[in-house]
Amino acid sequence: MSGENRSSFPGVGAILACLAVLALSSCSWHPVNPSRASSPKAESRQRTLLDADWLFHRGDVSFSNEVVTAGYDDGQWRKVRLPHDYVLDGTYDSTNARNHGYLPYPVGWYRKHFIIPESDRGKVLQLDFGGVFRDSEVWLNGHFLGRHPSGYTPFYYDITEAARYGAENVIAVRVDPRQFEGWWYEGGGIYRHVHLTALAPLHVAHWGTYVISTVPDGDQGADAEADLTLQITVRNEAPDPARCEVVSRIVGPGGRLLKTVNAVETVAAGGRHEFIQHAVLEHPRLWSLQTPNLYQLHTAILRDGRPVDSTVTTFGIRTICYDADQGFFLNGHHVEINGTANHQDFAGVGIAVPDSLEFWRVRQLKKMGCNAWRTAHNPPDATVLDACDRLGMMVMDENRHLGDTYLPKTASGTGATNLSDLAVMVQRDRNHPSIIMWSMCNEEKLEGTPDGMAILTAMMKVVHRYDRTRPITSAIVHDWPANRAGDVEDIIGVNYNDNKYNAIHRQHPDKPMFGSEDTNQKTTRGEYVNDRATGMCSGYNLSEKGWLAVVTRPFLCGSFTWTGFDYKGEPNPYGWPDVSNNTGLIDSCGFPKDKYYYFESCWSAQPMVHLMPDSWNWPGKEGQNIRVIAFSNARRVELFLNGRSLGAKDMPHDAYLEWQVPYQPGRLLAKAYTDGRVVATEKLETTGAPARLRLSPGRTRLQAGAEDAVVVPVSILDAHGRVVPFADNRVHFRLTGAGRILGVGNGNPADHDPDKADQRNAFHGHCMAVIEAGSRHGAIHLTATSPGLASARVTLKVR
């Protein structure tokens, strides 16, 4: 491989090329499991989930100085469980903000009553919020803890002094989402988890574990050994110095203890100390897209030989390399970045996405060959990163704001003196093996200007303070190829501008480059005519040109398609009646669109063929030509209508085939051939009238007490069991047993029915419900009914 355009990454300001990174898979702390790690048992650290039994009031509250006290009468407030997005409860109205889904964004209040045990006296107590949108103010027992403006970064408060031990405590949270940070649906409320953490005064600091690895010659595919550097920050909140021992145990993917290292130092009273430890692993099992191997680091803090704190950190070992001429390499192997950008909301739940649904969404994208997730345009919930770590999906982790602002776009003259949100993002996320780059911003007008360059430089210094193992980039759209941001950042991210890729490469021949956003095509599932009045976008709007511009240029590392899923808000291209966006490869409920299959034909090695339109029901068009498109990764496709061949054609690479087919009811069949052998088929049949419902969850076993949720798709079938493409029947859901209906949806961007409901119209034959398990074991019985149709029932077992 070329060496002259591949540079090292020695420190701040250098261009990233070949890196070996070991990463942590979760910022959450969990008690050490001594049986797995053979480590001393420590009882001091307790992490309690506080998601249950919150009380909520929609709208502001008079006498706010009283509402934060323990004695305030909240008996009429609504009981909710976190994660919670209350904006989703509103009513769509065309007079509300277009880009935010035409929903109202009022102030909201939360209160929670809970007991802090007497046994916690003498410990350090932290109240941890995963994310609140936005501008939250928090009180405990009437004591003001603080304000956190960002809706996208986690934060915590020390409540040791304000806590009442052995008695009831009351948290009060005011949320004000009226000042938007972005230009899409952002929701509102305590939409990520809340924990109470009880610690010994001597403990591992918040986000205090950082593990780095180097794999000698890893960029050439070597895996003989990995050199590990463990950076563990210990904090002493006691009034006296503490001499302590840090014991680190490395556990392999199979659960076997591999290495133990330790160090002894004195930590000053009220101070902190960073312990640096080293270890070498022989023949490490590398993290990759196909085999996402993960290790664990078990850390114990001992004082006078007695364990006082312990944590478990999950990590993976892998190398990443960016070459200015040849693209991206993972563990020494060339990998095309087949990415999608994704906002964080999902139908039925808004931004309050259950952890298990994050894993489900990653799997939906992996099925089509997608291998990278861009967190557009903000730090994600940590569970997204956990899912990508465990399932094998690379991540472009993106910061929300360019400099010191909470406005959607950064104005000229904005400073960069308080970059705490960026610092939090990097410290929380820096060890996830899935993350392959940091993105500082998206489509800012200051890109490349003197103000923008100064801010970007300051932000890069902050990132390098906490992590030097990944490249820094931005998603830039303006003024290419002259944009000066490319002079500063490590790798160049280009939004759209595919006709300028060559010119940008000539301008920056030593910089690796990728498409940070492209192929923004508006299509609606099951629609094949553009209709401004109804808000529908034709599936024929897709084009292969955006992807071909990337894949035909070896110097590009790949790209991120806009978007993986439809999302609420930013209703392009029409606005009202649409309340969600039409750009996804998958609709807002998880049902694939036609262009999903185009990218599957480009990205997946699994033989496939797909026909567009996705149905063969065209009453009134008999004898008229229907434009039929075939997507396939096979070499040749033949089309048949009612048993008669309409001809076979060679499939162009990363493109598609077309036929003009005079419509007649019956069967349209595609056969895909490679080396003369049929490797895939797809058929479309003219269906009858709706006759029955079908429920088809991806799994039927759920975990009790873990906020485990599953998407239950509904299909409208005819008498022969075929999906009826024009069916829009009203479906009612009835649930009994150990769970609840979180929400419903159908993927129709112009549907104004509420997501928080027990009924929904089908859209082109489909709708869905999100079902969550409760805290007890048992069974969930979900029944779907629709007037005139045979009902369907499914049983989910909760254990």
**pLDDT confidence of residue 43:** 55
Which tokens hold the place of 664?
């007649």
β 709-717/692-695 pair status: antiparallel
Runs of H (alpha helix) within 367-496: 382-391, 420-429, 450-466, 485-488
**pLDDT confidence of residue 42:** 44
CB 202 within 8 A of CB 244: yes
Cα–Cα distance for residue pair 138/204, rounded to 1 Å: 25
Cα–Cα distance for residue pair 479/474, rounded to 1 Å: 14
What's the alpha-carbon Rg for the chain, to the nearest Å? 27
Which three-class secondary structure state does DSSP give residue 338? Answer: strand
Residues 384-409 pLDDT 10s: 999 999 999 999 999 999 999 999 99
Residues of the chain with pLDDT under 50: 1-17, 19-42
Cα–Cα distance for residue pair 770/279, rounded to 1 Å: 45
Amino acid 625 reads N
**pLDDT confidence of residue 778:** 95
Which tokens hold the place of 169?
């405590």
Cα–Cα distance for residue pair 144/521, rounded to 1 Å: 47
Cα–Cα distance for residue pair 790/788, rounded to 1 Å: 7
Catalytic residue positions, numbered: 443, 517
Cα–Cα distance for residue pair 729/743, rounded to 1 Å: 18
**pLDDT confidence of residue 501:** 98
Instruction: Tell me the helix, strand and coil percentages in the chain, rounded to 5.
Output: 15, 40, 45
Nearest to 400 by CA among 362, 444, 358, 460: 444
Nearest to 599 by CA among 442, 768, 368, 757: 368
Cβ neighbours around 491 below 10 Å, total: 25
Nearest to 97 by CA among 230, 198, 188: 188
Given CA atoms 325, 328, 332, 338 in this order, what sign does their dihedral have? negative
Amino acid 608 reads M
CB 624 within 8 A of CB 663: yes
**pLDDT confidence of residue 39:** 41
Runs of H (alpha helix) within 312-449: 355-366, 382-391, 420-429
